Structure 1
Amino acid sequence: MRDIPLSRAAPLAAALLALALAPLLAGAFHLRFLAEILLLGTAVMSLDLLVGLGGLVTLGHAALFGTAAYAAAIAALHLGGNLFLVLGAGTGAALLMAALMGVAIMRSSHLFLLILTLLLGQVAWEVAFHWREVTGGADGLRGLPPLSLGPWRLDGPRALFLLSGGLALAAYLLARSFADAPIGRALVGAREQPLRMSALGYSIPRIRFRAMLAAGGIAGAAGSLYPFLNLYVGPQSVHWSLSATMIIMLVIGGVGSLWGAFLGSAIYLALQTYVSAYTDRWQLFVGLVFVLIVLLLPRGLAGGLTGGLAGSLAGVLSRRGRP
């Protein structure tokens, strides 16, 4: 059995420990806050599959996340809050949106890719904002029924946190499997050497399409649970500004690290929640953190932490090896 590298095993062990201890130590507000970090972090991690592996920077990722949120909310309002029904409706809607977006961007790259995904995301926002009979328009959808699994209600802070944590863990393992699989390697190859990959017989549009489906499915699963944190979903969940926010979170956490997405979302949401309690200029602090990360830690917080941990371990081992 292949050994798990330290850079992957340590974050996974820390995540499992945090998931086990948080329900015992945190209050109701903090559990919901942590659940929001986990769900947004999962969506950002799915974006990392496109950006970190494929170099496909998109401003339409919120359309996948928000479409799933709307689909899950609509299904819950009409059919009830059954967990599997909600996850199925949201993830299915996100996969459909990802397929449409994937067809549009299969042969696009760089600036054209950015503009196309921005336009597609704005189409989703227009639908959410103006189709009032279905989406609630600018008011969004409120009064959602709580999530349930058979006779059990899953609307408490502890239940929502555990659901979000379980989803985030499963999504991480799925994303890691995708990155390590031949399709993930091919996606990296398509980013680095597209002409050589084409000459070897690989279909780059097909590789990008599959990556978009994988990212859409993971983002959709996270978006399906997101409305049930506050029993509300609105047009801002599909707006391009949320896509830009996800990119900021990804850069802060570390592009290409997968688990760094959760660090980035935690830093951003902590600044938004706690700094905004003292000043309306909390985004200035986000910008400062962003600039410092880009200048001092080009690989993000995850890269800095992994590099520091690996360097410390190497130093300890080298000292032990000396006579």
Structure 2
Amino acid sequence: MSLSRLALPMAGLAAMAAVAALSGDFQLRFLAEILLIGTAVLSLDLLIGFGGLISLGHAALFGSAAYAAAIAAQHLGASLPVMLGIGIAMGTAVAALMGLVILRAGSLFLLILALLFGQIVWEICFHWREVTGGADGLRGLPPLSLGPWALGDARSLFVLAGLLALGSLGVARSFVASPLGRALIGTREQPIRMQALGYTLFSVRFRALLVAGAMAGAAGSLYPFVNLYVGPQSVHWTLSATMIIMLVIGGVGSLWGAFLGTAVYLALQTYVGAWTDRWQLCVGLLFVLTVLVMPQGLASGFLRLTRKGRTP
């Protein structure tokens, strides 16, 4: 691997070490939440930014994996490899079911079908009280562990979330550069020509959705252990819409912009929300300004400013 490719992971690990050493428990858990939700937004970016597949059911992939991990932890214990395996399997399975339902449609119909599929998952989580806890959700989960080591403290959770985010970013970059990623972009830009070349649009998009589902499932599997709680809002369509807002703010198609948009949104929700109930107005204003001034997102704007600063 070249030094240029190693630079970003090494910088990320160095930043994680500095933050873990200097931050308190609340900040570390908050940052872990940003990284996990940001990973889910990153998986959505693969579909929207490179496939043109706008989904209002993406929270179903993330939240169903969170529920599966939380339920399994109550019966099997919260072993990290087991939780990750269950989350990835659940996210992939739900993505497969969703793909069979929605990917034969297009444009507005795909959006509506994804919304309806996500609401079916929400109905199951909300009304199957004996398993999911219903409206109360699941609380009091055991802390994560890896063999004899307990990983339930804030610093461990932050490091795990950071490693997952870096790994997912690497997987996303590899996916975009792979033949499947190139084909996915082709189905967005020239679907008729791709069919003429022998590609099946459903097959390309279905496999991309499986990759996104596995990535969102991995993030969802760790999410319940940050606050030791998971509720039906984690699969609701409003979270899917929020993920789209985060992605637009950060930058559709930028990959790392998914984390930037998530951080900005959650920071406004947490810190501005503690000051006023109208924090959503601030989010709306930022969203409108981003679309008007930096339509490619904050990540692209940041890179342009950086390049201008380097120009003599």
Q: Normalising by the residue count of structure 2, what TM-score does the alignment of the two structures yield? A: 0.97
Superposition map of 1:165-314 within 5 A: 165-313=162-310
Q: CA deviation at 1:18?
A: 1.7
Matched, 1:154 2:151: yes
Distance (Å, rounded) in 1 between the aligned partners of 2:28 and 2:271: 15
Letter in 2 for 1:303: S
Distance (Å, rounded) in 2 between the aligned partners of 1:101 and 1:15: 33
Post-superposition Cα deviations, 1:106-137, rounded to whole Å, max 9, x if no partner, equal 22221011000000000000000000111011
Task: For residue 42 of structure 1, give the secondary structure of its aligned residue in structure 2.
Answer: helix
Letter in 2 for 1:132: R
Seen in structure 2, the aligned counterparts of structure 1 residues 293 and 14 have a Cα distance that, compared at 3 Å, is farther
* Greater CA drift, 106-115 or 189-198: 106-115
Matched, 1:126 2:123: yes
Structure 1 residue corresponding to 2:48, chosen from 44, 51, 54: 51
Q: Normalising by the residue count of structure 1, what TM-score does the alignment of the two structures yield? A: 0.94
| Consecutive aligned runs of 4 or more in structure 1 exceeding 2 Å deviation | 1-4, 8-17, 307-313
Letter in 1 for 2:40: A
Unmatched tracts of structure 1, length 5 or more:
317-323
Q: Name the residue aligned to 2:96.
A: 99
Q: CA deviation at 1:200?
A: 0.5
Higher Rg of the two aligned structures: 1
Letter in 2 for 1:215: A
Unmatched tracts of structure 2, length 5 or more:
none
The alignment's C-alpha RMSD in Å is 1.4
Post-superposition Cα deviations, 1:254-309, rounded to whole Å, max 9, x if no partner, equal 00000000000000000000001111111000101111111110110111112222
Distance (Å, rounded) in 1 between the aligned partners of 2:45 and 2:110: 16
Letter in 2 for 1:255: V
Matched, 1:21 2:18: yes
Post-superposition Cα deviations, 1:57-88, rounded to whole Å, max 9, x if no partner, equal 00000000000000000010010010111111
Distance (Å, rounded) in 1 between the aligned partners of 2:59 and 2:111: 13
Number of aligned positions between the proteins: 312
CA contact (8 A) 1:140 1:235 kept: yes
